[in-house]
Amino acid sequence: MLCPEVWRFQAPAHEIIQKTGNVDLSKQRCDALEKGIQSHHFNQMITIILPDVSNIPVSLETVLADSDHYLVRNLPLQTLVARSFIEAFVKRGSFYAVSFQTQLDTDDCVAVTPTGILILHLNKETYQSLGLEGKISQYARKRNSKYVVQINLKTLRTDTKHYNRIRECLGRESLGRFSLQITWTPPNSDNICPSSVAKHFADLGTQDDYSDVTVELMPTLVKTHLEYGLKIPSFSLNENMDQELCSTGELIEYMGMLALSCDTEGDEYLNSYDFCGQRVEVGNAKVLHWKGFFTTAHVRSIFRQIIATLLAESHVPWMGMYVHGFSHSPISFGMREHYFHTNGDNSYTIVVNPKGEYLWYQLVDNSKLPK
């Protein structure tokens, strides 16, 4: 059999949303961008790019110092609807959870949003065995292979027959147990440690019925690197006939290559990269990577620190932040159902310059099934 001409294959389609505007840097916030940040609950990786800065500000380097999360193994889902858990963690603060090492297109997947919605993304066989009320996945209507169940934990009354039925269904053997990555942000008004949620599940593991429940600390991984001698693309929203700017796609692509430490200045014909538009020569660019489980509050804190850095380093051409979600999360932006299909992309990039001009570049895997 002859090898297929791979170069003829079309790249997987994506849904791209671009927004531009201006922000008053002196206020150190932007409601339009923070609204977008707030809509993306499950964040796995964050990368920031700081061109032409002398040093990484300590406030930015340590902003995620307390962002470790936890892995709870062999957890029955009925424990998530226990009254004590709902009152202590769901109704107070923001609780996040997403199933660990599950494949969205073939496995049963679970998530809990900070708004208190328990989402079950189930295979047909599991869904039919439980008897819970749900709807067919919008990406599996032709095959009827996936179903989605949503339970609002904040409005769930624990003294009703409906609650007893939900608790009984979530404890059935056909559903099994899950390993969940979790994190909890306590209320601002309470002097409570975020690790209280880990203690709750650790104490659960001391009970006979849940003796195999274990809790592991998952520290945030941090990586930094420095790129030298760069000619980076300019970013501006002002149209100037004497100035040619690269496209937004080229800017995002360049940032990706910079984040991956690719050689963007190579002269080799078969392995070189180039972009249209004006270039700005900078001495270096500092790149920070965080990998873990990050809440919207974590991302918002980083964004505000970037704006504060822009105020202090007004000579820089721009600064950028890239945020990537979990590929197998049941939802992506807002409460939009997510599906893997080809790559499970759900990410966004924010670029801001010292003038306060910004670019929001949102990328989501296309909803169409590959042919």
Strand bridging mode 279-294 / 357-365: unpaired
More confident residue, 78 or 139: 78
Instruction: Give the pLDDT band of residue 29 (cuts 50, 70, 90).
Output: confident
Mean pLDDT along residues 63-88:
95
Instruction: Give the pLDDT band of residue 142 (cuts 50, 70, 90).
Output: confident
Backbone dihedral region of 52: left (phi > 0), alpha (psi from -120 to 50 degrees) or beta? left
Which pLDDT score is estimated for 222? 95
More confident residue, 101 or 28: 101
What are the φ/ψ torsions at residue 105 (nearest 5 degrees)?
Answer: -85, -10
Instruction: Give the pLDDT band of residue 42 (cuts 50, 70, 90).
Output: very high
Which pLDDT score is estimated for 269? 57
Mean pLDDT along residues 39-53:
96
Instruction: Give the pLDDT band of residue 370 (cuts 50, 70, 90).
Output: low
Structure token pair of residue 152: 């609002």
Instruction: Give the pLDDT band of residue 266 (cuts 50, 70, 90).
Output: low
Instruction: Give the pLDDT band of residue 371 (cuts 50, 70, 90).
Output: low
Mean pLDDT along residues 85-92:
95
Judged against a pLDDT cut of 90, whether residue 126 lies above it is answered with: yes
Which pLDDT score is estimated for 54? 86
What are the φ/ψ torsions at residue 358 (nearest 5 degrees)?
Answer: -135, 160
More confident residue, 192 or 287: 287
More confident residue, 278 or 46: 46
Structure token pair of residue 226: 């420095």
Q: Where are the domains of the chain?
A: 14-66+220-365, 69-218
What three-state secondary structure class fits 254?
helix
Which pLDDT score is estimated for 175? 94
Sheet holding 146-152, edge to edge: 135-136, 146-152, 117-123, 109-112, 94-99, 177-185, 69-76, 214-218
* 136 CB neighbour count, 10 Å cutoff: 15
Least confident of 69-73, 233-237, 285-289: 233-237
Least confident of 106-110, 179-183, 240-244: 240-244
Helices (H) and strands (E) in the chain, counts: 8, 15
Least confident of 23-27, 39-43, 236-240: 236-240
Mean pLDDT along residues 317-336:
94
Judged against a pLDDT cut of 60, whether residue 229 lies above it is answered with: yes
